[in-house]
Amino acid sequence: MLSKSRYGAQTMVASRQKQRSAPAKQRHEQDVVPTREQFSAAAKQRHEAALQLLESAKSPKPQVAGYLNVVAMECLLKARILAQAEKSRVSELRPFLGDDTYKQLFRSSEGHRLGRLAEQAALRRLLAAAGLSSLLQKKAWSRMCKDERPYSLRYGTEKLHTEEAIEEVQVGSDLLAAIENAP
């Protein structure tokens, strides 16, 4: 019994060492393959958390709310890209998007940039059809699309005031509703 346990532990350790020796990018692609439903659920959860952080009368946390809102919008736009392609898993997008675009949007830091994701998701066209083009003209959307986001909020190098966070989360709410109701 002891030897079986030891053998199992050795095998598990060897497996972990082998996995660790694989390049991080390769491990990421193998381990994380979200579905459209998972992106959609994550968007709603992160957005709800952002709202809760702002509604806390005792201590609103605009920085964290802004960060979660950007993450929510990233998930939302990625879910929209999957829906447009009529795919359910990110891994199925490579042939549809082409290798370079796929890598940019789903395997690099470029995939955190809302402006780039919005472009790929044809957000401008979707909002125009819904009569909501003005959402993309708002200062809050411009702030959300800054190249340094979400990192500037994650690491605290950008100060976000409560009023700005409220505006951004409202834009997030409007985008969430528009995309959920889109054909």
Domain boundaries, the chain: 1-31, 35-180
pLDDT at 109 over 60: yes
pTM attached to this predicted model:
0.80
Question: Residue 6 to residues 16, 18, 19: CA-CA distances in angstroms?
Answer: 15, 18, 20
pLDDT value of residue 13: 41
* % residues pLDDT > 90 (the chain): 72
At 33, the pLDDT band (50, 70, 90 cuts) reads confident
CB 168 within 8 A of CB 149: no
138 in Cβ contact with 172 (< 8 Å): no
pLDDT at 26 > cutoff 80: no
d(CA 163, CA 55): 12
Sign of the Cα torsion 69, 26, 102, 158 reads: positive
Bridge partners of 89?
35
